[in-house]
Each structure stands twice: as structure tokens, then as C-alpha cells.
Structure 1
Amino acid sequence: MIKSCPLFLFFALSLVQSVLVGQGEWELEHAGNGVKVFVRAEANDDMSVRVETTAAVSAESVLAVLDDAPSYPAWVHRCEAAYRIPGGTDNNYLYYSHIDLPFPFQDKEVVARIDQSWSDGTLTRTILAEPDALPPNKGKDRLTTYEAEWKITPQPDGRVFITCTCRTEAGAGLPNWVRKEILTGGPAKTMENLVERLEGVARK
């Protein structure tokens, strides 16, 4: 039924250096429908994922969709629910997302801080897990490692280049087929859904 919250989510302050400096080289795992997905193994059984695409919209339009957490289930793969936690500012706030996993695996949840800024027309949006900011929910596995960075960069042809780099423990301990679906198929579907949502809105 459902789809996963910013794993692409996605799904604060500055991106923790471990996202940018990995244990190995990026490997192209998927290319299709205008989306590329790269993966990289990290320490502690974590994985980093980088997703790239373009869209015929403005950076401001992308920000509006990314800031609309309650809409995540409509386009973020495996996202059961998401919401902004009261408090903070428009550019620095906490959010919650519930990641639905297939039975018999335990669902995941993320509590993280979003911090975003503009420079020369480029939007940078960083996300860092704050697992203790909310009490955990019974029956869900609260992720303690979730670090991500979105960059939305205007292009000369009027499009924007969208990249999302994420490091997560979400696949740790899961069978390879579930791990691959979460860390490769999910991000690809999420980005495809995002572009469709953005360009569909732009055409209205």
C-alpha cells in the first residue's frame, strides 16, 4: 500500500562529513526514466545512496513540494506518514516520517532536522537524524543514522538539476532483496514520482 519517507526523502546545519567521505567508490546501480542511482558501502553496514535527475520547474517549486511533509505518502516510496514537528523556523525544523516495510519486517521511523539555505539560486537542504527529539513509537525501529543533502541547481535551459545524497542504516540486517528495494528501487521510484509531481503541477 505504501511508499518510504525520505529515504529519499528525504526524506541539519551542515551535512555530516561521513555522507561525503565514504568507505568506497560510488557505483551506478540504476539508470532509467531520466534518473540515476549510485550506491556506496559505508562502515557499520550503513549505505550511502546518491540520486540524480532534472525537472522542468523552478527551484522554488521543488522546495514547496519538499516542505510539504504530509504529501510525502503520495510520492515518497514506502512512506506511510510524515509531518512537520511544531516549532523551528521555515528553514530549520524537525520532521517525522514512518517507513512501511513488508511483513514480517519491522517498520522504520525517522525523526530528523532539516536545515536549508540559498546561494546563487541553488537550494541546499540538509537533513540529520535527531532520534531522541520525540519518544519512540511502539513496534517501530527508530533510525539513529540518517544523513542527507538535497541540492537543487538551476540550469541554463530553465530546468533544475536535482541531487539527493543520503547515508542510512535502514537496510542493516535485512535480506538482500529488501535492502536493494529500499536503497535502490525506492530512491529511483521516489525521484521519478517527484519529477512527475513537479512537472504535473507546473503544467496546471
Structure 2
Amino acid sequence: MYPLLLAFPLLLLCTCVRAQTSDGFELQTESGGVSVYVRDEANEEMSVRVVTRATAGMQRVRAILDDAENYPEWVHRCDDAYIIPGGTPNNFVYVSGIDLPFPFRDKEVVARVRQTMGPRSVLTRTIRAEPGAVPPTEGRDRLEVYSGEWVISPLERGEVELQCTVRTNAGAGLPSWLRREILTNGPAKTVANLRDRLETRP
């Protein structure tokens, strides 16, 4: 009896340890092949990491990620997006609108994207807010805090791993249901939509 009583809390402890990454992200949900990790930050900010796999080639993934004008077709709550002229394929600034339900004001991200191809053909795409890069858009609140990273890793049998990490305060001042919908459900839906787009469109 006593060994069993001792083993049970140890089992719970091991489960919790496995559910947390080395950099403090905790597994929140795992459904349909999409894993969502969260990490609370200071000042009402939150970091979210979403991981899944897709059957696709690296060039196909990059082509979709670089096609900002079509973000509204798969990026959750995105209603407009475009790349500001003057950049390069690996270093550019883009604008993306976030549609919120009435009576909340829509939001907007202006950020710089830098892309590098590392060892084993892993594509890393870092995103950092540059809110002053273009004049404000009327009727939208521009996010001052926004950073992200896509890591696309080729796997065997024609698969890739898609990992997207976002840190933002987009939910500040919003009710808890909408904050959760934007900060956790949104990235999960976006990555799932990307996977489906990769696998169903030529």
C-alpha cells in the first residue's frame, strides 16, 4: 500500500514536468495534432507556442508565409494584410489588421520579418513590432508589443514541423473570453489553417 501511495504523487509530478518545456511554456491543449503551449508574461502579455506537422515541402510553406495579401484566408481574425515596399525577400515590414467584434476597436500589427535558413534546412522567421514604420490606420489600435517566431523544420517522408511562437499584449483591457480567443485560440486556429492549406491546395 505505501509504495503505491508514494508512487502516485511521483507520477503526477512526472506528468507536470513533461507538460512544461525548458523555457517555461506549459502545455494547455493538444487536439487534432495541434499542441498549444502558453507562458504568462508581465504587463498583461502572454506568449503562445503552437506546434503541428504537415505534409508539404519547405518551398510551399515559405511561399504561403510570404504571401501577406492572402493572410485573411487563413490567419485567424486577419481582415487585411500587405507588405510595405522597399524591403527584401528576407527582410521586410508588413501590416496586418485584426478584426474584433463590436463594440471593441480593431487592432493592427506592423512588424519587421527577418528570415534565415539554418543547418539542416531549418527556416527561421523572426517577427518584431515596428509600430512607427507607417502612419496609423484610422479606426484601429496599433499594437506596441508584438513579437513572434516561425520555425519550419523538414522531417522524413515529405513532412515538415510547423512551430509558431507569439508574444503580445493584444488582449489587454479585453474581457477574459475575448482575450483567450485572441491569445490562445487564435494562434492555434492559424497554425491549423496553415496545415490544412498546405495539404489541400496545390
TM-score by length of 1: 0.85
State the 1:186 CA deviation: 1.1
* Residues 30 and 188 in structure 1, CA contact (< 8 A), matched pair in contact too: no
Q: Which residue of 1 aligns with 2:5?
A: none
**TM-aligned CA deviation for residue 191 of structure 1:** 1.1
In structure 2, the partner of 1:17 is none
Q: What is the match of residue 106 of structure 2? A: 107
State the secondary structure of the residue aligned to 1:45.
coil
Q: Which residue of 1 aligns with 2:132?
A: 132
Q: CA deviation at 1:158?
A: 2.3
Residue number in structure 2 paired with 1:10: none
Structure 1: gaps (5+ residues)? 1-20
Q: Shift of the alpha carbon at 1:60? A: 1.4
Residue 79 in structure 1 maps to residue 78 in structure 2: yes
For 1:115-126, list aligned pairs within 5 A.
115-119=114-118, 120-126=120-126
Over aligned residue pairs, what C-alpha RMSD do you find? Answer: 1.5
Q: Is the 8 A contact 1:53 1:163 kept in 2?
A: yes
Are 2:58 and 1:50 aligned?
Answer: no
Q: Gaps spanning 5+ residues in structure 2: where? A: 1-21
- In terms of fraction of residues, the more helix-rich structure is 2
| Cα pair 2:164 2:191 within 8 Å, conserved | no
2:67 aligned partner, one-letter code: D
After TM superposition, the runs of 4+ consecutive aligned structure 1 residues lying more than 3 A away are none
Cα deviation 1:102-156 (Å, max 9, x = unaligned): 1111110010000001012110000000000011112211001111010000112
Comparing 180-189 and 67-76, the one that deviates more: 180-189
More relative contact order, 1 or 2 (CA 8 Å, 6+ apart): 1
Contact in 2 for aligned 1:77/1:189 (Cα 8 Å): yes
